[in-house]
Structure 1
Amino acid sequence: MKNKPPYAIESVDHALHLASLLQQEGPLRVTDAADRLDVSASTAHRLLAMLVYRDFAEQQPDRRYRAGRVLRPTPVSEAPIALLRRIALPHLRRLVERVQESANLMVMAGPEVRFIATAECEQVLRVGDRAGRSLPTHLTSGGKAILAALPAEELTALYRGCDQVDLPRLRRELGLVRKRGFAINDQSTETGLTALGMRVDGPSGTPAAAVSLALPSARFDRDALATWIGAVSATVAAIEADLAAG
């Protein structure tokens, strides 16, 4: 289970986080970067200047910064990232207050999910901030919740020729996800981490994102599963209602 190192170098963390934002979400102004990292505009400007120097970023004619040539091209999510994050974060925080475990919001971009928001719990042993990270869709709880809603032909097209995915087995697992209404990731992405995920539908009824509740596997208790799923379901319903209201 990966959490922030106890002696983290904050400037390095900020630079890496900023690079991932440029890669995954597109061009940013200096003020946008400062807001996302919770730093001053002058600090954001210095971080961006260093990324430009190392070809992780480049400045456009409109003075915004975009991903540079060093960052590999990745599929772009069609989800409205900024809107999803703004709407979901208050609900994620309320979910964390209720169950005292960390919560995430993620979107699917091809064979990966991108974590776009995290609300951390305050327990000493906890799952840390995942914002900016990408993981294989078929291994994460939220990713499986989204995949379970895809048409069969779209799922086949997504994983055709992918040796890392046993498609018949994945189809069986997604059938169980559809029946239950939620998905579980039991240490498939990180040793010592268990997560529960549910899909968030947009106003059109198509999957827009997913919410996951992530906790140390040592605290996973099947007797608490109904309580956790009920809390996640209420959070998903609240996010969907706010998305529908615009």
Structure 2
Amino acid sequence: MKNRPAYAIASVDSALLLASLLQQEGAMRVTDVAARLGVSVSTAHRLLGMLVYRDFAEQLPDRSYTAGPVLRRGRQQQAPVTRLRDAALPHLRTLVDAMGETANAMVLAGGDVRFVATVECDQVLRVGDRTGRALPAHLSSGGKAVLATLDAERLTPVVEALAADTAARLERELRVIRRRGYAVNDQATEPGLIAVGVAVPPAGGVSGAALSLAAPSARYSRDRSPAWASALAEAADAVARDLDTIG
């Protein structure tokens, strides 16, 4: 299970997270960056300056900052990602309070899912913040939940990019997911991590989104899946309603 390393360098972590936020969410002002990273305005300004120097960011005429040339390849649509994050966060917090495990929101980006928001639980052993990370959609719980909702035209390119045996296994799993309404990642992306995911109904111009609950395998048992799936489905419907409101 991949959590924040004990030897993490705070400034490097902040810079990498900031680069991900600029790529996924679009232009941000220095004060926005300071608030999102929990740092001072002066620190935010120095981080942005270094990203500009290395072409990971650039300053716009209104003095806000956006993703630079290095990050532009494969950039997601930014407004929908921002709306998804804003709509999902309150419901992720509710999930964490109710279920006691870390909750995530993510969106499909080609053959990957990108995490746009995480709310960590407060247990000592827990799954950490995944914001800004990407995982293969066919392995992650949220990714598989979204893939199960796609029509053949959109699903085929993802499946065709996989090895034949992997594609066949995915097709079988997607049939199960469509029948029961949720997907499970049983240590497919990280040893020691179990996650359950459901798709968020398309709403407010946002599609391909999912929510997940993730826990260390040592604390997970299979009989928890239906309860998790029910809570996730309720949260996903609430996120969709809020997306329609703010969209």
With normalisation by structure 1, the TM-score equals 0.91
Seen in structure 2, the aligned counterparts of structure 1 residues 78 and 14 have a Cα distance that, compared at 3 Å, is closer
Seen in structure 2, the aligned counterparts of structure 1 residues 42 and 125 have a Cα distance that, compared at 3 Å, is same
Local SS of the residue matching 1:146: helix
Work out the CA distance in 2 between the residues paired with 1:14 and 1:43: 10
Work out the CA distance in 2 between the residues paired with 1:240 and 1:155: 22
Which residue does the alignment assign to 1:29? 29
Structure with more of its chain in helix, by fraction: 2
User: How far is the alpha carbon of 1:164 from its aligned partner?
Assistant: 8.0
What are the Cα deviations for residues 188-215 of structure 1, in whole angstroms up to 9, with x where unaligned? Answer: 1111101000000123798441000000
Q: How does 1:49-68 map to 2 (within 5 A)?
A: 49-68=49-68
Q: Which moved more, 1:23-32 or 1:84-93?
A: 23-32
Work out the CA distance in 2 between the residues paired with 1:168 and 1:75: 30
2:148 alignment partner AA: A
Give the total of aligned pairs. Answer: 246
2:114 is the alignment partner of 1:114: yes
1:65 alignment partner AA: Y
Contact 1:139–1:189, Cα closer than 8 Å, also in 2: yes
RMSD of equivalent CA atoms = 2.2
Work out the CA distance in 1 between the residues paired with 2:136 and 2:59: 30
2:229 alignment partner AA: I
Which residue does the alignment assign to 1:135? 135
What are the Cα deviations for residues 15-38 of structure 1, in whole angstroms up to 9, with x where unaligned? Answer: 110111122333322222222212
Work out the CA distance in 2 between the residues paired with 1:143 and 1:175: 14
2:20 is the alignment partner of 1:20: yes
Work out the CA distance in 2 between the residues paired with 1:184 and 1:236: 16
User: How far is the alpha carbon of 1:152 from its aligned partner?
Assistant: 1.4
Seen in structure 2, the aligned counterparts of structure 1 residues 118 and 227 have a Cα distance that, compared at 3 Å, is same
Which residue does the alignment assign to 1:179? 179
Local SS of the residue matching 1:70: helix
Which residue does the alignment assign to 1:46? 46
Identity percentage over the alignment? 59
Which residue does the alignment assign to 2:5? 5
What are the Cα deviations for residues 127-172 of structure 1, in whole angstroms up to 9, with x where unaligned? Answer: 0000111111111100111000100122113343444873232222
Structure 1's unaligned 5+ residue stretches are: none
Work out the CA distance in 2 between the residues paired with 1:206 and 1:131: 18
Seen in structure 2, the aligned counterparts of structure 1 residues 24 and 189 have a Cα distance that, compared at 3 Å, is same
Seen in structure 2, the aligned counterparts of structure 1 residues 35 and 220 have a Cα distance that, compared at 3 Å, is same
User: How far is the alpha carbon of 1:78 from its aligned partner?
Assistant: 7.1
2:114 is the alignment partner of 1:105: no
Seen in structure 2, the aligned counterparts of structure 1 residues 44 and 164 have a Cα distance that, compared at 3 Å, is farther
Local SS of the residue matching 1:80: helix
Work out the CA distance in 2 between the residues paired with 1:208 and 1:154: 11
Q: How does 1:68-87 map to 2 (within 5 A)?
A: 68-71=68-71, 73-77=73-77, 80-87=80-87
Which residue does the alignment assign to 1:228? 228
